Amino acid sequence: LVSFLALGLYRRNRYISKTKTIIEVERKKADDLLENILPIQTAKELKEKGKVTAQKYESVTIVFTDFKEFTKIASKLAPGELVESVDMYFSEFDKIIKKYDLEKIKTIGDAYMFAGGIPIQSEDHALKAILAAQDILDFVNTIKKNYKVDQGRFDVRIGIHTGPVVAGVVGKNKFSYDIWGDSVNIAARLESSCEAGKINVSQSTYE
């Protein structure tokens, strides 16, 4: 009887230990996924409080990029080729903004938006945003030399503006970290009015 009880306790402890390990692994996966979607500080606040408090930032540099004649070129590509091409560009953009400690906000079609100075404020966010934009432009120009138009080669327009924004998390089922304000609209207009292959910078960013 003692032997059976000891064996039962041993198996139970092993089961509990394995279950805890599985739970920790899955929790780590969930945490990593959340931190991949949201800024680390924001993800931490969401896990601890169940919600994220919206914040106003007085000085943030917003960057928009967009591909010239994307719809026209995309219509000539097979679906798989189009996705592969956009993924190639945006994956490199991700690496560039990570290099300069900037925050990716979102992508909308062929538009890529990121910002500096949020959620962690810094004095040199405008400079970092400019350096990242230059790296993006260099990368796009390099790709142009190696790819034909019908292989998903694009020209890029980049608009940059510095100003106040409100940042927060929206959504219940799919969380999204976003920013709002006139500064965002100005950055978008700077991009749309920019000459392809150039970086359009506002006066406030320049200063």
Question: Is a pLDDT exceeding 60 seen at residue 149?
Answer: no
Q: Strand ranges (DSSP E) for the chain?
A: 55-67, 103-108, 111-116, 156-170, 176-180, 199-201
**Higher model confidence: residue 114 or residue 40?**
114
Q: Band of the pLDDT at 127, cuts 50, 70, 90?
A: very high
Give me the phi and psi of 14, to 5 degrees please: -65, -40
Contact 31, 47 (CB under 8 A): yes
What global pTM score does this model have?
A: 0.79
- At position 92, the amino acid (one-letter code) is E
CA angle, 84 as apex, 80 and 88 as ends, to 5°?
175
In tens, the pLDDT along 6-50 reads 777 878 877 777 777 777 766 666 666 656 666 777 777 766 766
CA distance 136 to 65: 9
